[in-house]
């Protein structure tokens, strides 16, 4: 079955009984990732063989076999032959399609080759594996502060036809997840890049995306804010729906005032150092520490601030 991914999952179920009985031997070919496109029950009964892109030496052998079959040489000089193999981008079928056109030409150099053949776009499946593989590589290259590799994967995605707005959404996410307050300007850069691209469009707006990934890749990294939110969410799930302390709740009605809402609230601006030291965790719940800055970039300053407030809190608790 060629292009087996074109069968939907219900249709793929038809094969199951016949496979188990041994009535058929199923050989399916697909350009998609079987993990995404094949029914898990069908996939579990098959052996998956991954056909990888052909290397340059393999593609050269394909050309030689074509020449042997047709009993004539391709009219390419050495540089044109190298360029042709590069344009195939690891795809033997694409190479043969292009070679079929060139067999009818005479004395083709690299410049003439470009005029005869439109450059083949890099293989990129926006729907599934290529889409996720390349955005993962882009994200991880930025996280590793590898600016040049980041630019390479960005160029691959743009040249492959990826929606730039999808890339920009991932950059905004990266700015908050992997940089956070180590560089508070990271989020501003990502949002500004989105606005600039939305205003300019392609291709002019793509430079704003490149500027953004350069900034993000070279920025100090911290996932402290990301970890802090996850820790707080875990705490909420564990403790349930505890009420805030009554002094932290407004009392807009007479009944709420009678019930003690808002009673004892300390207005921090009126306190020494503009800090009351009041506890705003729910009653019956001990204080927990979620945000733990790692001291990278601007987080060094935030760490000083947290230490300052904690020292004041400790001092208030002793008085």
Q: Is the pLDDT of residue 124 over 60?
A: no
Q: Quick one: pLDDT at residue 86?
A: 86
Selection from 147, 145, 144, 126 nearest residue 135 by Cα: 126
What is the arithmetic mean of pLDDT over 26-44? 85
Q: How far apart are CA 148 and CA 152, in angstroms?
A: 6
What is the arithmetic mean of pLDDT over 62-88? 89
Q: How far apart are CA 120 and CA 103, in angstroms?
A: 18
pLDDT tens digits for 274-303? 888 888 899 888 889 999 998 889 999 999
Token representation of residue 292: 């733990």
Q: Is the pLDDT of residue 222 over 90?
A: yes
Read out DSSP for 257-279? HHTTTTTT---GGGSGGG-----
Selection from 164, 167, 186, 188 nearest residue 177 by Cα: 186
Q: Quick one: pLDDT at residue 139?
A: 95
Q: Quick one: pLDDT at residue 37?
A: 83
SS3 230: helix
């Amino acid at each position: 079955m060629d292009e087996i991914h074109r069968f939907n999952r219900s249709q793929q179920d038809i094969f199951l009984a016949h496979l188990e009985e041994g009535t058929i031997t199923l050989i399916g070919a697909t350009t998609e990732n079987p993990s995404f496109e094949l029914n898990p029950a069908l996939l579990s009964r098959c052996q998956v063989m991954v056909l990888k892109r052909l290397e340059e030496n393999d593609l050269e052998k394909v050309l030689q076999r074509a020449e042997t079959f047709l009993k004539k040489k391709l009219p390419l000089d050495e540089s044109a032959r190298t360029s042709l193999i590069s344009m195939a981008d690891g795809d033997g079928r694409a190479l043969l399609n292009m070679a079929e056109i060139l067999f009818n030409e005479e004395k083709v150099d690299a410049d003439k080759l470009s005029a005869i053949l439109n450059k083949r776009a890099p293989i990129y499946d926006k729907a599934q594996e290529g889409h996720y593989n390349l955005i993962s590589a882009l994200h991880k290259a930025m996280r590793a502060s590898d600016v040049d590799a980041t630019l390479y994967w960005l160029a691959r995605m743009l040249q492959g036809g990826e929606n730039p707005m999808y890339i920009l959404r991932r950059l905004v996410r990266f700015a908050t997840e992997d940089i956070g307050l180590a560089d508070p300007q990271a989020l501003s850069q990502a949002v500004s890049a989105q606005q600039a691209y939305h205003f300019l469009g392609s291709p002019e707006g793509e430079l704003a995306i490149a500027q953004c990934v350069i900034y993000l890749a070279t920025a100090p990294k911290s996932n402290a804010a990301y970890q802090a939110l996850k820790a707080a969410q875990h705490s909420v799930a564990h403790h349930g729906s505890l009420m805030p302390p009554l002094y932290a709740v407004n009392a807009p009605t007479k009944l709420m005032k009678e019930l003690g809402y808002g009673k004892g609230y300390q207005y921090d601006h009126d306190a020494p150092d503009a800090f009351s030291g009041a506890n705003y965790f729910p009653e019956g719940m001990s204080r927990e520490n979620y945000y733990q800055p790692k001291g990278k970039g601007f987080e060094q300053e935030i760490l000083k601030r947290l230490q300052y407030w904690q020292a004041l809190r400790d001092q208030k608790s002793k008085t």
